[in-house]
C-alpha cells in the first residue's frame, strides 16, 4: 500500500500507530475520494482510510483484539472527523 502525497490525517494516523505499536510496519492510504457522496464523506476528504499494520505486539492476539487496539489508539481521530477504516492487521510472519 502506498500513497503519492499523504494527507495530514494520514501522516497523523501513521505516527500514532508507530507510537502505539513499537517496531511495527505501518502503511496508510487515504481512500476518501472513493467515498464521495457516501455517508461520512466530506468535501475536503480525510474521512476514509485503509491501514496496514504488521506489529510484533499482535502476536497471539485475536483479530477482534487487534482491531480494538487500533481503534483505541486512533480514538481522537474518530472524534475529529475520521469516518471509516479498512484494516489489515498482522503479526510478523503471518501471510
Whole-angstrom distance, CA of residue 53 vs CA of residue 56: 10
Grid coordinates in use for 73? Answer: 489508539
Q: Are 52 and 1 in contact (CB under 8 A)?
A: yes
Whole-angstrom distance, CA of residue 73 vs CA of residue 89: 14
Q: Are 29 and 2 in contact (CB under 8 A)?
A: yes
Q: What is the pLDDT of residues 13-39, one digit of tens each?
A: 999 999 999 999 999 998 875 645 555
Q: Is 62 left (phi over 0), alpha (psi -120 to 50) or beta?
A: beta
Pick the CATH number of 13-23+46-95 from 2.60.120.560, 3.40.50.620, 3.30.420.10, 3.30.300.90: 3.30.300.90
Q: What is the pLDDT of residues 49-84, one digit of tens each?
A: 899 999 999 999 999 999 999 999 999 988 887 888
Q: Taking the domains of the chain in order of start, what are their residue ranges?
A: 13-23+46-95
Amino acid at each position: 500500500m502506498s500513497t503519492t502525497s499523504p494527507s495530514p490525517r494520514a501522516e497523523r494516523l501513521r505516527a500514532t500507530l508507530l507510537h502505539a505499536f513499537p517496531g511495527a510496519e505501518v502503511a496508510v492510504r487515504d481512500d476518501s475520494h472513493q467515498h464521495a457522496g457516501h455517508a461520512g464523506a466530506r468535501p475536503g476528504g480525510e474521512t476514509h482510510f485503509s491501514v496496514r499494520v504488521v506489529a510484533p505486539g499482535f502476536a497471539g492476539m485475536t483479530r477482534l483484539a487487534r482491531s480494538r487496539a487500533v481503534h483505541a489508539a486512533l480514538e481522537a481521530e474518530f472524534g475529529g472527523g475520521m469516518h471509516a477504516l479498512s484494516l489489515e492487521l498482522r503479526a510478523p510472519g503471518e501471510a
